[in-house]
Structure 1
Amino acid sequence: MEKPVAYFSAEYGLPNNMPIYAGGLGILAGDILREASELSLPFVAVGVLYKKGFFKQALDKNGWQEEKDVYWNPEDYGLDPVKNQDGSPLSIILPFPKANLNLLVWKNTVGKTFLYLLDADNDDNPADLRDLTSNLYTGDWNLHLEQEYILGVGGVRLLRELKIESKMWHLNDDHSALSLLERLRELVSSGISFEDALSKIKETTLFTTHTPVRGAESVYDRETVLPFLKILSGDKIDLEKIFSLGAKDTETFSLSLLGISLSGYKNAVSKRHHEISESLWDTKMDFVTNGVSSYHWVSNPMKTLYDNHLGTDWQSNINSAGMWQKVYDISDKEFWSARLTAKKHLISYLLKNNILTSQIDENELFIGFARRFAPYKQSQILISSMSHLKSMLLNSESPAHLFVSGKAHPIDNAGKKLLQEVYWADNDPKVGEAIVFCENYDIPLAKMLVSGVDLWLNTPKPPMEASGTSGMKAMLNGAINASTLDGWWYEAFDGNNGWVVGSYDPEETAKMSIEELNDNLFYLLESEIIPLYYDLEDGIPVKWIKKIKDSLVTCAPRFNTRRMLLEYKEKFYDRL
């Protein structure tokens, strides 16, 4: 039997909506597991079981975000506790600065792919250690390091205990980089020289960076990280040698630098990100642009349309550019009927969940803006001129609805302030349902939004978007993208398949003020996008549909997990 790829990620977003993800990194990891199963690639994945999840978003009466713990039972999500042959729970013993940690293990089956999750909530652990894996991304960097140690070092020890021998270790960002030092400790302890051990690790490790700027990686001061490095140095490796592998300087240690220095294979996640990353990290690397899973993200109305016209095996052949040419043969009437059905499904979902308070017309323009409320996402571009936004959306001749969703990080008050402004606009009685804030952005809500809107807006500040995948999901469902030229859109946009917000030169866009970008976006919306949507022939926006089809033909064969994982296989996995 072929040895599997061992895939490590701090988070996973899966179809069952198990609350062990925060955003795009986890959604990507979940899509990769599904695609690995579809392709029958030997794959085993390792993560952490967060008993209280990321957080459930709730807005108080003033619109301020509050974070609620998510309490869930792993067995309700189809997870099984991993047990020893005698039926007792398997426990991975992990040396910890405070005391030995006993990690329980849960197994989740994603098709033919196994995902193992480590859990510190064990009666055998001291009370102060049981909560180490309770919450994802709290903003407590000491806890963050402890969780990264559990993922990386605990993950290696788990695979050893299960006697799973991998052919390659694929690290999804730097959260699991300490796994490299655990493998180094193992090899040196077995009698292999330090230099030979480094070579062996590099030969079998792929590090995927998602970081577009220095300072965004996991960085720790010397005093914080040394207790963990002392454990990982064992009794045969000099501690300063270990520190030097990830040292930014004499006092700080970077897990991204560690991953880059100990991995023989490295990749960025888009063409644009690759250009930035080689300069950023002063190293040669390849790139594999991210993709999304059609099996999970395409709505039923569009799946049926594709089944009828592309063939029922279209998902297996999703990379075929020739196959996607067939969308031009679908009648505009039938194509638009599928799109309107998907929009009706979105309306029904929002009404059922009390996000909409009254019925809206699916024939009107639906605009989606859903993402993490972080400064670089520049949501201010939309809301910095609220009076202009309201008048545009409420135009009786060309009405539109703006659906906004997303969470701010628990310690990001600036992001929470932006959310609050959207909340106030949503609750303005004069606005009605023109602006709709969709609380607690998660996978089920995301699926409805990407499948039900007509236009997907994205406004990151270049070069801060490593890739982005939400626009890919919207594209596969027949929405059109309008985005700053960054991440995946930098290589996807061809002049006809969507719109660019800001300049066609990303460096010029990065220099533009929020006010300048606001003017640019509203000019684009009012002079091109909205008029095109309402340019009807017998009640059908024929030219709009042509643009949708252009988007599908140029983007669908390229920005999917099938192409992405086959590219990983060809460039990296099959080298061993």
Structure 2
Amino acid sequence: MRAIRRFTVRTVLPAPLADLDDLAHNLRWSWHPGTRAVFADLDAAVWEQVDGDPVAFLGALGPQRLEGLAADPEMVARVRAAASDLRAYREQPRWYQRQTAAALPASVAYFSPEFGVAAALPQYSGGLGVLAGDHLKAASDLGVPVVGVGLLYRAGYFRQGLDRAGRQTETYPVLDPDGLPLTLLREEDGSPALVGLALPGGRTLHAQVWVAQVGRVPLLLLDSDVPANDAAARAVTDRLYGGAGDHRLEQELLLGVGGVRALRTHARLTGSPAPDVFHTNEGHAGFLGVERIREHVAAGSSFAGALELVRSTTVFTTHTPVPAGIDRFERRTVEQYVRALDDAGDLPVADVLALGAEDQEGGDPLVFNMAFMGLRLAGRANGVSRLHGRVSREMFAGLWPGFDPQEVPIGSITNGVHAPTWVAPEMTALASRRMSPHDLATGSGWEDGGAISDTELWELRRRLRSRLVDDVRRRVRASWHQRGASSADLRWVDDALSPDVLTIGFARRVPTYKRLTLMLADPARFAALLLDEDRPVQVVVAGKAHPADEPGKRLVSELVAFADQHHVRHRIVFLPDYDMRMAATLYPGCDVWLNNPLRPLEACGTSGMKVALNGGLNLSVLDGWWDEWHDDDNGWVVPTADGVDDPDARDAAEAAALYDVIEQQVVPTFYDRDEDGTPRRWLAMVRHTLATLGPKVQATRMVADYVAHLYVPAAAAGAALAADDKAGAVALADWKARVRAAWPQVSVDHVDSGGVDDAPRVGDRLHVRAWVALGDLTPDDVEVQVLHGPVGPDDEIAAFGVAALRLDDTYEADRYGYAGDVELTATGPFGYTVRVVPRHEALTSVAETGLVTTAT
């Protein structure tokens, strides 16, 4: 019998235990062992039964049990002490409050389509969401005033299973917000606070706002499943990445436009400061810029002035290294939605559509590109590793024609992970007992065996591996039962894996470029590795393929088919339904973390960072963060066949290289033991990993980098443009319009040089003179530069230096002379050229306007 209505009955807590509600609804418990210990000690059996979910836990205790606990003075005191600790954490000054920058943002709005904060709030699909969750948690720990903005998906992503044949299956259990660690944002009269946006056809999309409190950081999640909506509108937030076309576009409009309106509502109802910096995590939330422009235009700004105000305070982070990862919509469809949104006529539709236009060479004029809009609306942009920054500059270079990729205004801040979330409690407890805070923060405490001996470290690693083996056996048994096996068929599971065998982990989303099955390229050789009598290897694999990704789902089936074989199934397993709960045991328990994507298609990858923080070693191709921070002592590099065009040949070559590294380096290092049975070389690599990578891979380092390099400059730029009734924005917009109109008249008429003889030597100074025509512009509007450096056989200056030439004299009425010197610092072929670029104190990069004139 199907219910016609459902709701969740909330627990009524006895007064002495009332603080438990606050503790359960602040997600700090997900990374704070002391709070989790309080809940676990209330009733260990129930706590385990609900998988450590405090909201579910309180609902499962029952009135009698709660009354009994309320009569226990010691337990009441512990609950009150935990609540007091949480209040101090939320209210006392932290790192951010000690900063002295003049333009510290009062609030930063962080938009993302998914957030992986805790398994109890399943609103994530993979790395992007988990990164967003770690960003919020690290911001909270540092005291950075961030507000998260996302969507509440009633069915989350999906739950993965396997059918009898080993094929991926998907289910979508409906989530009840009342059973999640959420609080509904309400108006002063108690009614749900609603935001709305107009849709084509006279429809309106309404959404209520749920608040997840992530330590000090509120996370606003918009939910369209409200009575005010029609059936189609109620389904907009049905599931993460579950739709296409209009459905996906409406999700992104709700996230961007609705998210800004939710922020305004939240600030009005809570008295919190309005954000002065907006950070969009990928292009999905790009419409937030359009909504902010509309606000400024409605308040009297021109579109051009509003655009400058919005750009100055917007940060855009790209996470994709391939164009196929970018959301693109039909231009005419976007036009319909923009016209519907603009009921007051504040937005010039053509100008909005131009933000997402693919007007570069090879672009599609019928398409609206969300990443292009994100970049055009952001004064500051970054990739998520040093290599990814370079890849992004090359991928988006067409937006800045005339500039080399190295000058494309996309920097990089390498991702990090939230250590309190991902480090095993045993590792944290041991290190905290033996090391000072300074030695922990710098990693120096791991550099020798004085604080923790090799024997202790090796025993800890074995305990973590043993716990993983127990968890794997439980999950494998449950998966096989779901596939139809009987208990009698599963006696082999008791011997699956071993706590004493070298354990390699591989777990991530399953797009084809991550190459889930590269390890199976030579099945016989791989099986020999697994089954070696003296030095065996065991492998734990997990990962979800998107429900619409048939090639990815075939890879899952191929891996499962191999792991199902009787002769290897005790040495390799596939665990379905990879999520944060599984990861909490998997990362600490693996000795080696395998990563073998097609280089350079891994933007960053953070799972290997989490393993490193637990004393595991990485085995990876040089991609993402590993390209930046690997050395010979923190893991191993899988050689790649870059430049091989045949994908099968490339896979075969790289698989062979992978087997070689495992056989010749990884396995011997793990199994070579001294007379005490301790692998000294292995543990030296573990110590080096903890000492050198530990401080680098932290999300607190990442967020501090965002504050210093992006948030503070954005806040300063925004304040400057907004001062004196937005006079700076008006002036900048007018200046850009004037420069663009006059730029066709700008030319480099003549260049000559001197100062060196026919045989120049290192240390000589080349004197360069240039005469340029500026038309209606003045020397104050431009900078004349000489670009110089080594040249190749085609006279291209691959990596060049830039020096500004000084204004020398006026040659004619509209022609100006410039001059300067260039020191020759390297031997070999050398070349130079001269160019003119716009110059204004408010520009964030030389390429911002896209205008450049180069000597020919």
| Normalised TM-score (structure 1) | 0.95
Distance 1:559 1:506 in 2: 27
Partner residue in 2 for 1:241: 351
Partner residue in 1 for 2:138: 35
- Kindly provide the CA deviation profile for residues 84-104 of structure 1, in whole angstroms up to 9, marking residues without a partner as x: 111111111221224111101
- Kindly provide the CA deviation profile for residues 86-125 of structure 1, in whole angstroms up to 9, marking residues without a partner as x: 1111111221224111101111111111001000100111
Matched, 1:488 2:618: no
Q: Conserved in 2, the CA contact under 8 Å of 1:328 and 1:549?
A: no
Matched, 1:219 2:308: no
Q: Conserved in 2, the CA contact under 8 Å of 1:16 and 1:77?
A: no
Partner residue in 2 for 1:563: 701
Deviation at 1:236, TM superposition (A): 3.4
Distance 2:138 2:598 in 1: 30
Matched, 1:85 2:188: yes
Partner residue in 1 for 2:469: 347
Q: Which runs of 4+ in 1 moved over 4 A?
A: 326-329, 505-512
Partner residue in 2 for 1:45: 148
Among all aligned residue pairs of Structure 1 and Structure 2, give the percentage whose two residues are the same amino acid.
36
| 1:526 pairs with one of 649, 660, 663 | 663
Partner residue in 1 for 2:275: 166
Answer 1 or 2: higher relative contact order, Cα 8 Å, separation at least 6: 1
| 1:398 pairs with one of 493, 512, 535 | 535
Deviation at 1:461, TM superposition (A): 0.7
Partner SS, residue 45 of structure 1: strand
Partner residue in 2 for 1:361: 498
For residue 295 of structure 2, what is the amino acid of its counterpart?
E
Question: Given the superposition, is the C-alpha separation of residues 171 and 324 from structure 1 closer, same or farther in structure 2, using an over 3 Å criterion?
Answer: farther
Question: Given the superposition, is the C-alpha separation of residues 553 and 154 from structure 1 closer, same or farther in structure 2, using an over 3 Å criterion?
Answer: same
Segment of structure 1 superposing worse, 73-82 or 167-176: 73-82
Distance 2:122 2:543 in 1: 15
Deviation at 1:321, TM superposition (A): 4.7
Distance 1:556 1:506 in 2: 30
Partner residue in 2 for 1:438: 575
Question: Given the superposition, is the C-alpha separation of residues 280 and 472 from structure 1 closer, same or farther in structure 2, using an over 3 Å criterion?
Answer: same
Q: Conserved in 2, the CA contact under 8 Å of 1:533 and 1:541?
A: yes
Distance 1:43 1:124 in 2: 30
Segment of structure 1 superposing worse, 453-462 or 216-225: 216-225
* Count of aligned pairs: 572
Deviation at 1:318, TM superposition (A): 5.7
Deviation at 1:562, TM superposition (A): 1.1
| Normalised TM-score (structure 2) | 0.65
- Kindly provide the CA deviation profile for residues 386-421 of structure 1, in whole angstroms up to 9, marking residues without a partner as x: 222122101111112110000011111111111111
Partner residue in 2 for 1:194: 303
Partner SS, residue 461 of structure 1: coil
- Kindly provide the CA deviation profile for residues 138-182 of structure 1, in whole angstroms up to 9, marking residues without a partner as x: 252332211111100000111112235102001111110011011
Deviation at 1:424, TM superposition (A): 1.3
Partner SS, residue 52 of structure 1: coil
Partner residue in 2 for 1:117: 221
Partner residue in 2 for 1:255: 370
Partner residue in 2 for 1:207: 316
Partner residue in 2 for 1:425: 562
Segment of structure 1 superposing worse, 166-175 or 534-543: 534-543
Q: How does 1:493-512 map to 2 (within 5 A)?
A: 493-503=630-640
Deviation at 1:373, TM superposition (A): 1.2
Q: How does 1:256-335 map to 2 (within 5 A)?
A: 256-282=371-397, 283-311=408-436, 313=437, 319-325=441-447, 330-335=452-457
Partner residue in 2 for 1:101: 205
Deviation at 1:16, TM superposition (A): 4.0
Cα RMSD over matched residues?
A: 1.9
For residue 604 of structure 2, what is the amino acid of its counterpart?
S
Distance 1:290 1:344 in 2: 30
For residue 112 of structure 1, what is the amino acid of its counterpart?
R
Deviation at 1:324, TM superposition (A): 4.8
Matched, 1:460 2:597: yes
- Kindly provide the CA deviation profile for residues 358-391 of structure 1, in whole angstroms up to 9, marking residues without a partner as x: 1442111111011111111012311222222122
| 1:180 pairs with one of 276, 279, 289 | 289
Q: Conserved in 2, the CA contact under 8 Å of 1:95 and 1:231?
A: yes
Segment of structure 1 superposing worse, 540-549 or 433-442: 540-549
Partner residue in 2 for 1:133: 237
For residue 339 of structure 1, what is the amino acid of its counterpart?
R
Partner residue in 1 for 2:111: 8
- Kindly provide the CA deviation profile for residues 290-334 of structure 1, in whole angstroms up to 9, marking residues without a partner as x: 0001110001221122113323x46xx765254553567531101
Segment of structure 1 superposing worse, 560-569 or 211-220: 211-220
Q: Conserved in 2, the CA contact under 8 Å of 1:324 and 1:557?
A: no
Segment of structure 1 superposing worse, 20-29 or 230-239: 230-239
Distance 1:28 1:510 in 2: 33
Gaps of 5+ in 1: none
Question: Given the superposition, is the C-alpha separation of residues 507 and 473 from structure 1 closer, same or farther in structure 2, using an over 3 Å criterion?
Answer: farther
Question: Given the superposition, is the C-alpha separation of residues 160 and 103 from structure 1 closer, same or farther in structure 2, using an over 3 Å criterion?
Answer: same
| 1:547 pairs with one of 685, 688, 695 | 685
Question: Given the superposition, is the C-alpha separation of residues 41 and 181 from structure 1 closer, same or farther in structure 2, using an over 3 Å criterion?
Answer: same
Distance 2:239 2:330 in 1: 23
Q: Conserved in 2, the CA contact under 8 Å of 1:367 and 1:456?
A: yes
Deviation at 1:457, TM superposition (A): 0.2
Distance 2:353 2:208 in 1: 30
Partner residue in 2 for 1:143: 247
Distance 1:284 1:418 in 2: 37
- Kindly provide the CA deviation profile for residues 24-69 of structure 1, in whole angstroms up to 9, marking residues without a partner as x: 0000000111111111111111100000010000111111111100
Q: Conserved in 1, the CA contact under 8 Å of 2:543 and 2:576?
A: yes
Structure 1 or 2, whichever has the larger Rg, is 2
Distance 1:87 1:330 in 2: 55
Distance 2:274 2:510 in 1: 40
Distance 1:494 1:104 in 2: 49
Partner SS, residue 101 of structure 1: strand
Distance 1:244 1:318 in 2: 50
Distance 1:347 1:304 in 2: 22
Partner SS, residue 88 of structure 1: coil
Q: Conserved in 1, the CA contact under 8 Å of 2:286 and 2:370?
A: yes
Partner SS, residue 572 of structure 1: helix
Question: Given the superposition, is the C-alpha separation of residues 248 and 101 from structure 1 closer, same or farther in structure 2, using an over 3 Å criterion?
Answer: same
For residue 94 of structure 1, what is the amino acid of its counterpart?
L
Partner SS, residue 215 of structure 1: helix
Q: Conserved in 1, the CA contact under 8 Å of 2:121 and 2:181?
A: no
Partner SS, residue 324 of structure 2: coil
Q: Conserved in 2, the CA contact under 8 Å of 1:450 and 1:473?
A: yes
